[in-house]
Structure 1
Amino acid sequence: MSDASSPSLHVRYEGDDDPAKCTARKLSRFDLAELHRSDRATPYGVVLNPHAERALSPADAGATTLVALDCSWESAGEAMFSLPGDHRALPYLVAANPVNFGRPMQLTTVEALAAALSIFGHADHAERILSKFTWGHTFLELNEEPLRRYADCEDSSAVVEIQQEYLERGD
């Protein structure tokens, strides 16, 4: 279920995390994202990939499909990101999930998808998927300023400029 203009959410699901803590499985249970167990089954779209050369920006907002990879951080090496699609890296954001709270760039699958939706201007959709988690609203609160600033950018290079400010400040 997504807004008419909001991209559909898909997850390339590895199943190597604790199922009780897996945000992708919970999204799937609530029919908010579709899980795929193989690269071939995963639809083409904008792939959230921390190793991508381009930053995600509002310029990518026309995408009809948003894809995240759900696997443990230990196995999230570059080889795992062989999915077809337009690969984009999320800019600097801070995790709100209980496992990595306050750590930069250690986002859960739902945080990554919500961040992308926010940058695309679909804040309502981001809030809806985060509402299934007790800590979900905290993610948007912690990252309110950077998400707003990234969403106001025209393209990837502008996002990278803003990200650099946060990296230099050490926020």
Structure 2
Amino acid sequence: MKVTVYHAEECDRKKCTTFRMAKKGKFKIVNHLNQLPYGALVLNPFSEKSVSPEDRDMVIKRGVAALDCSWKKVKKSAVIFKTSKYHRSLPFLIAANPTNYGKPCILSTAEAIAATFYIVGLKDIAEDIMSHFKWGPHFLILNREILEAYSQADSSLEVVKIQNEFIGGT
């Protein structure tokens, strides 16, 4: 599966999930945004549309692109979000990585990409990605119920509805 990650060099390389996955040959790291593949699904926390099973064909054909950077520093209107028209945010999930364990919506890049594959129905790829980390399988166990629900949704709107019901919204 094609996974390309723009890396902004803002993290500790020893803890970086992107670098570990690149060493394993699972992710390709690029240093310029124009190197992200055209038509790939871009994980963007500011996107109004959530990842859903309806994105499966796009992910299979074009892959997934992620931005490994501090989201606290990124502006919503930043130029990086003009890299593709296929932007998707992730719905509510709980981090299992040691740095942010138990924190909602603060996932490592590997967790975010694995969640994307799981939600679009490519669960074996999600499991493979997480198998490269001691804590990785726990991410899938911790979020299994909600990931399963998201993966059964028909659309992005339904994923958001499931998310809102799960966190107690309407």
Are 1:39 and 1:82, in contact at CA under 8 Å, matched by a contact in 2? no
Match of 1:47 among 39, 42, 59: 42
Determine the C-alpha separation between the residues in 1 that align with 2:105 and 2:167: 11
Instruction: Please identify, of 9-18 and 102-111, the stretch whose mean Cα deviation from structure 2 is larger.
Output: 9-18
Structure 2: which amino acid aligns with 1:24?
A: T
CA shift for structure 1 position 118: 0.2
Q: Structure 1: give runs of 5+ residues left out of the alignment.
A: 3-7
Determine the C-alpha separation between the residues in 1 that align with 2:14 and 2:81: 24
CA shift for structure 1 position 83: 2.1
| 2:157 counterpart residue number | 157
| 2:32 counterpart residue number | 38
CA shift for structure 1 position 76: 3.7
Are 2:51 and 2:120, in contact at CA under 8 Å, matched by a contact in 1? no
What count of residue pairs does the alignment treat as equivalent? Answer: 163
Determine the C-alpha separation between the residues in 2 that align with 1:52 and 1:29: 29
CA shift for structure 1 position 144: 0.1
Match of 1:59 among 40, 45, 54: 54
Name the SS of the counterpart of 1:68 in structure 2. strand
Are 1:120 and 2:115 counterparts? no
Determine the C-alpha separation between the residues in 2 that align with 1:152 and 1:100: 27
Q: Deviations along 1:44-92, whole A, 9 cap, x unmatched?
A: 2100111001011000111121111101243243224332240001001
Determine the C-alpha separation between the residues in 2 that align with 1:142 and 1:76: 28
Q: Structure 2: give runs of 5+ residues left out of the alignment.
A: none
**Alpha-carbon distance change, 136 to 77 in structure 1, aligned in 2, over 3 angstroms:** farther
| 2:12 counterpart residue number | 18
- TM-score w.r.t. length of structure 1: 0.91
Percent sequence identity is 39
CA shift for structure 1 position 13: 1.1
Are 1:48 and 1:88, in contact at CA under 8 Å, matched by a contact in 2? yes
Name the SS of the counterpart of 1:74 in structure 2. coil
- TM-score w.r.t. length of structure 2: 0.91
Determine the C-alpha separation between the residues in 1 that align with 2:75 and 2:14: 23
Q: CA RMSD in A?
A: 1.3
